Amino acid sequence: GAGVSQSPRYKVAKRGQDVALRCDPISGHVSLFWYQQALGQGPEFLTYFQNEAQLDKSGLPSDRFFAERPEGSVSTLKIQRTQQEDSAVYLCASSSPSTRQPQHFGDGTRLSIL
């Protein structure tokens, strides 16, 4: 079956612009996670949904970052007024309610802020 799909794969934006990153999780996966991965580093947790409920957003770096999952499937991570330090790979993962772990990852969106 289809895995986690993220779009776009690459995004270049000018500083100050808003961007929206999309994640299509595996069908039926209840849990959805967003991570930020800087070059040469491990993924850093941003936020977590169970169905449409955002249960943990403690990793969001600032109020410029906003995530939603209105119907409990597709999720969007929005970054407003982007800054150069937002440049990173943004990874999305989903997991099944029956197994909880492991998480299945998409290939990420590489965001470059000029």
Partner 1 sequence: SQQGEEDPQALSIQEGENATMNCSYKTSINNLQWYRQNSGRGLVHLILIRSNEREKHSGRLRVTLDTSKKSSSLLITASRAADTASYFCATDAGNRDDKIIFGKGTRLHILP
**How many chain residues touch partner 1 (CB under 8 A)?**
26
Is residue 112 within 8 A of residue 12, CB to CB? The reply is yes
Q: What is the length of the chain?
A: 114
CA-CA-CA-CA torsion sign (105, 54, 83, 25):
positive
What would the x/- binding string for partner 1 be over residues 12 to 51, using CB under 8 A?
Answer: -------------------x-x-x----xxxxxx--x-x-
7 binds partner 1 (CB under 8 A): no
Distances (CA, A) of 40 to 5, 44, 78, 96, 110: 23, 12, 24, 29, 13
User: Phi/psi of residue 26, each to 5°?
Assistant: -65, 135
Residues numbered 92 to 111 that lie near partner 1 (CB under 8 A) are: 93, 95, 100-108
52 binds partner 1 (CB under 8 A): no
**Nearest distance from C-beta of residue 31 to partner 1, angstroms:** 5
Contacting positions for partner 1 (CB under 8 A): 4, 31, 33, 35, 40-45, 48, 50, 55-56, 91, 93, 95, 100-108
